[in-house]
Structures are given as structure tokens and as C-alpha cells.
């Protein structure tokens, strides 16, 4: 076979093999894309699982340990000049024995004392109904609450989990709180014009809402600034038409879990209508504490434990 024939056969062989090499090269990107498409769902699933784990860890171990102070300014013409700038701290729903223990409770007490309030209000649910509190823990709670030092007074009311708790009244009164059990009182400060404070116990009794009318011990109170303490927000409808200026409530715990566009989860049965942090009905300011502890589940999400801090401002 001569040289020209061999060269021709070799050239033909090469030209037949080259497209095969090109086809092999063309298949490689397709194989890569196929592998990528197989990996994508797995990556998505793993990512979702990791996000869920992180959210659960945050909701169980981080957010319940936070303390947020929500400050509100309240303007009124009814308080005397001596009470202009009055500082009020409102805290609620400790549920001691859940996410709140001695260490966390001491942090709450210190946070309140840092504000240097004139008046302190506690709107119920001190000890969780499922918690068994020892005598030592009871004394720790008393010592902690006793260390709250407002410039004037501190008041408390019953929550639904306090009514049947035999320890509650002893703890509150031993801590220097005035326990208002369907009763009212007048608070004077460097002036002959007081503010009226009313505390309702919705669970144990049928409250006499007429105490919100015009007299205390035959003294007319029509023009006094009235602060009403109530644990269950939905009971507000029972007395909203009576004369009151500021209503402070608790119970809701903010629903514990707050998701965008949805009603908060784990709301108490007495907190289905009023559960947001603020309402104004017929000129009455209503503030509902998100509380500090937990109930139903020991978790919080998008709803950090909080203390409410109000400043009363006298306006003309």
C-alpha cells in the first residue's frame, strides 16, 4: 500500500472519530446539570430543617430570657401638677417555675429598679399552676418582690392562676404590695387631688363595677384620674362604659408565638378579643402586658418578655 493510500485512510479514520469526541464533550455539561438538579431539592430540605432547628432553639433558649422595656407617654388633664411626670411600671404573668426561676426573676427585679418608678403595678399570675414551689423558693420570691422600691406605692391584683394558690396572698402582702381584691383606693402625692386606683378580681367573685362611679367613702371622684387593673382583657367590655382613663391588663402573654399576618398562637381563653398591646376605646387608654414568663409551652417567638413603663404627663 503506497503512502497516499495510507494517508487517505488515516484522514478518514480521524474525521470519523472527531464527532464522537465532540459528542462526549457535549454530554458533560448535561450530566453536570442533571447532578445539580438532583442536589437542589436536597439542599432545600436540609436548609429548611436547619432553619427550623435554629428557630426552635431561639424560641426555647434565647428569646424567653430577654427582657424588653416598652415605654409609653400618656397625656392627661386630670392629674395634679405634683404628679406630672409620674413614672409607672407595669409587669405581669411571671409564671414562676416555667422559664422564670430565681436567676431570671432577680434580673426582672433589677430591671424594674433601674427605672426608678414612682408606682409599680402587678397584674397577676405570679406562680405557674403546674409549679410546685418549695418554702425556700417562696422566701426567694418574697425577698425579690420586697426589694422592689418605688418612690410611692406598689399594687397587685389576682390572676386566674393566683386565685386558688394559697401562697399568693401571703407572698404579695409580705412583699409590701397592696392587694386590690375588687376594691379601689385613692393615691395622694403632695396635693389634695389624688388619682384613683381600682383592682378587679374577675375569677373568684362577681365584681362590683359600680366602684368606678363617683364616690369613695362619700368623697366625690368624678374628676379624678382613674387607673383600672384587671388580669383578663376580655372582661374590659364589662366596665368600659364606666368612668376610667387608663386600663392595665395581662394574661395574654402576647400569644407567645407571633407570626406575620396571623393571630398570635397560644392565647388564653380570656384573651381572645383584646390581645394587642394597645387599644383606645371611647377615649380610654388600654395597655395589655405581654408578660414575662410562659404558659402552655416554654417558648417565645417574635414576642420577647416585656415590662411596660408609663410616664403620666399633665397637659392643659
Query: Residues 263-291: pLDDT tens digits?
Result: 999 998 888 999 999 999 999 999 999 99
What's the pLDDT at 280?
97
> Closest Cα to residue 122, out of 137, 139, 136, 141?
141
Domain 68-314, what fold? Purple Acid Phosphatase; chain A, domain 2 (3.60.21)
What's the pLDDT at 138?
96
What's the pLDDT at 270?
82
What's the pLDDT at 36?
61
CA distance 232 to 252: 8
What's the pLDDT at 31?
61
197 strand-pairing partners: 185, 227
Query: pLDDT for 222-239, tens place per residue?
Result: 689 999 999 999 999 999
Contact 307, 69 (CB under 8 A): yes
Low-confidence ranges of the chain (pLDDT < 70): 1-39, 205, 214-222
* Domain ranges (residues) in the chain: 1-65, 68-314
Q: How many CB atoms lie within 10 A of CB 140?
A: 17
What's the pLDDT at 206?
80
Rounded to two decimals, the pTM is 0.86
What's the pLDDT at 59?
95
What's the pLDDT at 9?
54
Q: How many CB atoms lie within 10 A of CB 218?
A: 5
Amino acid at each position: 500500500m503506497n503512502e497516499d493510500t495510507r494517508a487517505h485512510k488515516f484522514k478518514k479514520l480521524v474525521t470519523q472519530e472527531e464527532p464522537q469526541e465532540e459528542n462526549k464533550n457535549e454530554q458533560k455539561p448535561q450530566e453536570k446539570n442533571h447532578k445539580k438538579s438532583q442536589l437542589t431539592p436536597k439542599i432545600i430540605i436540609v436548609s429548611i430543617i436547619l432553619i427550623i432547628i435554629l428557630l426552635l432553639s431561639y424560641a426555647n433558649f434565647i428569646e424567653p430570657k430577654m427582657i424588653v422595656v416598652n415605654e409609653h407617654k400618656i397625656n392627661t388633664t386630670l392629674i395634679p401638677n405634683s404628679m406630672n411626670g409620674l413614672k409607672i411600671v407595669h409587669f405581669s404573668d411571671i409564671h414562676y417555675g416555667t422559664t422564670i426561676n430565681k436567676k431570671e426573676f432577680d434580673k426582672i427585679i433589677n430591671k424594674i429598679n433601674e427605672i426608678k418608678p414612682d408606682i409599680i403595678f402587678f397584674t397577676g399570675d405570679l406562680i405557674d399552676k403546674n409549679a410546685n414551689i418549695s418554702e425556700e423558693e417562696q422566701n426567694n420570691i418574697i425577698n425579690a418582690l420586697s426589694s422592689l422600691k418605688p418612690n410611692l406605692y406598689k399594687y397587685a391584683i389576682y390572676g386566674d392562676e393566683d386565685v386558688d394558690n394559697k401562697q399568693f396572698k401571703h407572698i404579695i402582702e409580705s412583699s409590701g404590695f397592696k392587694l386590690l381584691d375588687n376594691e379601689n383606693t385613692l393615691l395622694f402625692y403632695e396635693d389634695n387631688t389624688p388619682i384613683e386606683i381600682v383592682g378587679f378580681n374577675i375569677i373568684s367573685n362577681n365584681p362590683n363595677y359600680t366602684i368606678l362611679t363617683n364616690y369613695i367613702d362619700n368623697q366625690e371622684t368624678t374628676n379624678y384620674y382613674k387607673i383600672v387593673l384587671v388580669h383578663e382583657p376580655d372582661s374590659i367590655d364589662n366596665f368600659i362604659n364606666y368612668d376610667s382613663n387608663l386600663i392595665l391588663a395581662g394574661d395574654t402573654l402576647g400569644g407567645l408565638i407571633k407570626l406575620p399576618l396571623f393571630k398570635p398562637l397560644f392565647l388564653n381563653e380570656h384573651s381572645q378579643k383584646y390581645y394587642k398591646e394597645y387599644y383606645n376605646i371611647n377615649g380610654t387608654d388600654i395597655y395589655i402586658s405581654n408578660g414575662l414568663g410562659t404558659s402552655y409551652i416554654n417558648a417565645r417567638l417574635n414576642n420577647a418578655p416585656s415590662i411596660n413603663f408609663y410616664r403620666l404627663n399633665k397637659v392643659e
